Amino acid sequence: MRRGAALKISIIIPTLNEGGVIGHLLQQLQPARQAGHEVIVVDGGSSDGTVERARPLADRVLCTRPGRGEQLNRGALASSGGWLWFLHADSRLPRDWLAQLEGACREGQRHWGFFQVRLDGDRLAYRVIAGLMNARSCLTRIATGDQGVFVRRELFFGGGCFPAIPIMEDVALGKRLRCLPPCCLPGPLVTSARRWEREGLMRTVLRMWALRLAFWLGVSPHRLQRHYSRCTTPDTES
């Protein structure tokens, strides 16, 4: 950010049938709107009232085809902030989230970053999984969408935005950004453990590891999406 320039962060949230959680997140984001930042919700065709719940609490609500990468790019193109923060609808924010985020964005040497996460389940295994996720991201400089990636506007658009792939768009973006050291904020962002609860802890962990390894080895994201779709249900897509 240029010295003396006002800080504005665009918070971009993709949704698909997130009516049960979107209102809670947007309520938490109201201090950001009061501070001059903007909140943009990009819906991929919800049928559960997500759009209606979001409109009173967001600066803009856009509708597009489903697909998280496309939704995030659409929100970024419609935004006006110097920083972009990509946030999942089922996230819950720490009490001092705005101070953490603004502090990181004002630090002149940083160009992108993410939050550490915590899963909302009570099981010890969830704390272990979250700890491994956080350690992995700080070591590899690759963050996932659950971790609330934020990035300078010019860096995001200069790198080509999210790629037009049906899955692993967050990992692909991270591979482009990792040449620059990220800011790892303590958070934690609390993310839903619904995927693990529904599909089984070990099954979910092993499947996600396998998908990421296959992606790193060059397997087509379109082929991975076919496998992912057979193993999950629609509400995990946003």
- Tens of pLDDT, residue by residue over 144-195, are 999 999 999 999 999 889 998 888 899 899 989 999 999 999 999 999 887 7
| Tally of CB atoms within 10 A around 65 | 9
Q: Are 210 and 231 in contact (CB under 8 A)?
A: no
Q: Are 196 and 126 in contact (CB under 8 A)?
A: yes
Mean pLDDT of the chain: 89
d(CA 125, CA 118): 11
User: 105-144 b/e with 16+ CB inside 10 Å = b?
Assistant: beeeebbbbbbbbbbebeeeebeebbeebbeebeeebbbb
Q: Are 12 and 60 in contact (CB under 8 A)?
A: no
pLDDT at 235: 41
To the nearest whole percent, how much of the chain has pLDDT over 70? Answer: 93
Per-residue pLDDT at 2 exceeds 60: no
CATH of domain 9-195: 3.90.550.10
Task: Indicate the pTM of the whole model.
Answer: 0.88
Arithmetic mean of pLDDT, 190-218: 78
Check residues 205 and 126 and name the one with the higher pLDDT.
126
pLDDT at 41: 98
Residue 232: pLDDT band with limits 50, 70, 90 = very low
Residue 202: pLDDT band with limits 50, 70, 90 = confident
Q: Are 187 and 154 in contact (CB under 8 A)?
A: no
Per-residue pLDDT at 49 exceeds 80: yes
Domains of the chain, by residue range, sit at 9-195
Residue 228: pLDDT band with limits 50, 70, 90 = low
pLDDT at 193: 83
d(CA 94, CA 100): 9
Out of 61-65, 109-113, 136-140, 218-222, pick the least confident.
218-222
pLDDT at 210: 81
